[in-house]
C-alpha cells in the first residue's frame, strides 16, 4: 500500500472520520459476502427465497433455518484486524463513526460504540407484522413470549425500509466528517451506496478499500485494492504516525 503525501496529510489532519463498511470487512473473520463470483451468498441462495417478506410469508421455516445458520456462524467467528484497527483509530480521534451494512455485530464485539446498523442485526428478533400464507404450519416458529406473535430476524430484507432514523443519522455523520472510508462493500446497494457520493459532493475526501473495483472506485479520492484486514491497519498506522 503506497500512501502518497496528499493522503498522509489528510489522514494526519483528520479528526472526524466516518467509515462505511460492508461484508468484505468481515470476510477474513469467515463470514461469507453476498456478491462475489464464487462463494457469495447470492450465488448459492436466491434472495427471493430467503430475504424478502414474501419469502417469510410463504415459508418462514426455510427463512429461519437460513438465518439460524448465519446467526450461529456470526457467533462462532471473531472480529479481525480490520475491525480492531477502527477501534484503535477511534481512540486516537475526537470522533469516528462506523456505519455498517453488516448484520453480524462484529464491529461491536471488537469494541466500536454507537455503530449505525443500516441493515439491522442478525442477533436480534422482532415481530413479523404481515400475515403468513394460509397453508403455512406455524407450529414451532419462534414467538414473542409475551404476545405470542411470530418473530422474524431483525434485518432488512429486499423491498423493505431501513430501520427508522438510520439513514438520517448516517447522512448527518457523513456531512459532519472531514474524512470518509468505504471498506469492503461492492457499493451497489442503495441507499448505503449513496453515502460516499454525498461525502464527495461536499468535498469530503473518500478513501476506498476493497478487494476489487466497484462503481465508487473511479470517483473515490484514493482507492486501494486488497484485503481490509491488512489495509485498514496500515492506513490507521499511517494516520497515527504524525
Ligand atoms: P457484497 O458481497 O456486495 O460486497 C462485498 C465486497 O467486499 C466485494 O466488493 C468484495 O470484493 C469485497 N471483499 C471481499 N473480501 C474482502 C476483504 N477481505 N477485504 C476487502 N474487501 C473484500 O457486500 P455488501 O456491499 O456489504 O443487504 O452488500 C450490501 C448489501 O447487499 C448487504 O448488506 C446485504 C446484501 O444484499 C441485505 O441483505 C439487505
Establish whether residue 28 lines the binding site of ligand 1, counting it when its CB lies within 6 angstroms of any ligand atom.
yes
Q: Taking Cα atoms as reference points, which of 121, 129, 134 lies closest to residue 150? A: 129
The mean pLDDT of 233-241, rounded to a whole number, is 93
DSSP 8-21: HHHHHH--EEEEEE
CA distances in angstroms from 190 to 11, 17, 104, 160, listed in the order given: 27, 21, 19, 11
Mutate-to-test residue for ligand 1 from 120, 185, 224, 229, highest number of ligand atoms within 8 A of CB: 185
Query: Distance between CA atoms of 217 and 195, rounded to whole angstroms?
Result: 14
Q: Name the least confident of 101-115, 137-151, 218-232.
A: 137-151
Residue 101 CA to ligand 1 center (angstroms) comes to 9
Give start-end residues of each CATH 3.30.1600.10 domain in the chain: 32-76+122-155
Q: Domain 32-76+122-155 belongs to what architecture?
A: 2-Layer Sandwich (3.30)
Q: Taken in order 47, 49, 53, 54, is the CA torsion positive or negative?
A: positive
C-alpha cell at 131: 400475515
Q: Taking Cα atoms as reference points, which of 133, 132, 98, 101 lies closest to residue 114? A: 98
Over residues 186-198, the pLDDT tens digits come to 999 999 999 999 9
| pTM, full prediction | 0.96
Hey, whose CA ends up nearest to atom 23 of ligand 1? 23
C-alpha cell at 153: 430476524
* Residues contacting residue 180 through CB under 8 Å, at least 6 positions apart: 17, 18, 19, 20, 174, 195, 196, 199, 204, 205, 206, 207
Residue 242 CA to ligand 1 center (angstroms) comes to 32
Give start-end residues of each CATH 3.40.50.1220 domain in the chain: 1-30+78-119+162-242
**What is the predicted pLDDT for the residue at 40?**
84
Establish whether residue 182 lines the binding site of ligand 1, counting it when its CB lies within 6 angstroms of any ligand atom.
no
Establish whether residue 178 lines the binding site of ligand 1, counting it when its CB lies within 6 angstroms of any ligand atom.
no
Atom of ligand 1 nearest to the CA of 160: 39
Q: Taken in order 166, 171, 177, 182, is the CA torsion positive or negative?
A: positive
The mean pLDDT of 15-30, rounded to a whole number, is 97
Residue 147 CA to ligand 1 center (angstroms) comes to 36
pLDDT exceeds cutoff 90 at 11: yes
Instruction: State the catalytic residues.
Output: 119
**What is the predicted pLDDT for the residue at 44?**
84
| CATH numeric code, 1-30+78-119+162-242 | 3.40.50.1220
**What is the predicted pLDDT for the residue at 45?**
85
C-alpha cell at 9: 496529510
Over residues 198-232, the pLDDT tens digits come to 999 999 999 999 999 999 999 999 999 999 999 99
Amino acid at each position: 500500500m503506497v500512501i502518497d503525501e496528499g493522503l498522509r496529510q489528510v489522514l494526519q489532519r483528520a479528526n472526524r472520520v466516518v467509515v462505511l463498511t460492508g461484508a468484505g470487512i468481515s470476510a477474513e473473520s469467515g463470514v461469507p459476502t453476498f456478491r462475489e463470483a464464487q462463494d457469495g451468498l447470492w450465488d448459492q441462495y436466491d434472495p427471493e427465497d430467503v430475504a424478502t417478506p414474501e419469502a417469510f410469508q410463504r415459508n418462514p421455516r426455510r427463512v429461519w433455518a437460513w438465518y439460524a445458520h448465519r446467526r450461529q456462524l456470526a457467533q462462532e467467528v471473531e472480529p479481525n484486524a480490520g475491525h480492531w484497527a477502527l477501534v484503535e483509530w477511534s481512540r486516537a480521534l475526537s470522533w469516528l463513526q462506523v456505519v455498517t451494512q453488516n448484520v453480524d455485530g462484529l464491529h461491536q464485539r471488537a469494541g466500536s460504540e454507537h455503530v449505525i446498523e443500516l441493515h439491522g442485526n442478525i442477533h436480534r428478533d422482532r415481530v413479523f407484522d404481515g400475515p403468513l400464507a394460509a397453508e403455512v404450519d406455524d407450529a414451532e416458529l419462534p414467538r414473542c413470549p409475551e404476545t405470542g406473535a411470530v418473530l422474524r430476524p431483525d434485518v432488512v430484507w429486499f423491498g423493505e425500509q431501513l430501520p427508522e432514523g438510520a439513514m438520517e443519522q448516517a447522512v448527518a455523520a457523513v456531512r459532519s466528517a472531514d474524512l470518509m472510508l468505504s471498506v469492503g462493500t461492492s457499493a451497489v446497494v442503495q441507499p448505503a451506496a449513496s453515502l460516499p457520493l454525498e461525502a464527495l459532493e461536499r468535498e469530503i475526501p473518500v478513501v476506498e478499500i476493497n478487494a476489487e473495483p466497484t462503481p465508487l472506485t473511479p470517483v473515490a479520492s484514493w482507492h486501494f485494492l486488497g484485503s481490509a484486514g491488512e489495509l485498514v491497519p496500515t492506513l490507521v498506522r499511517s494516520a497515527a504516525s504524525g
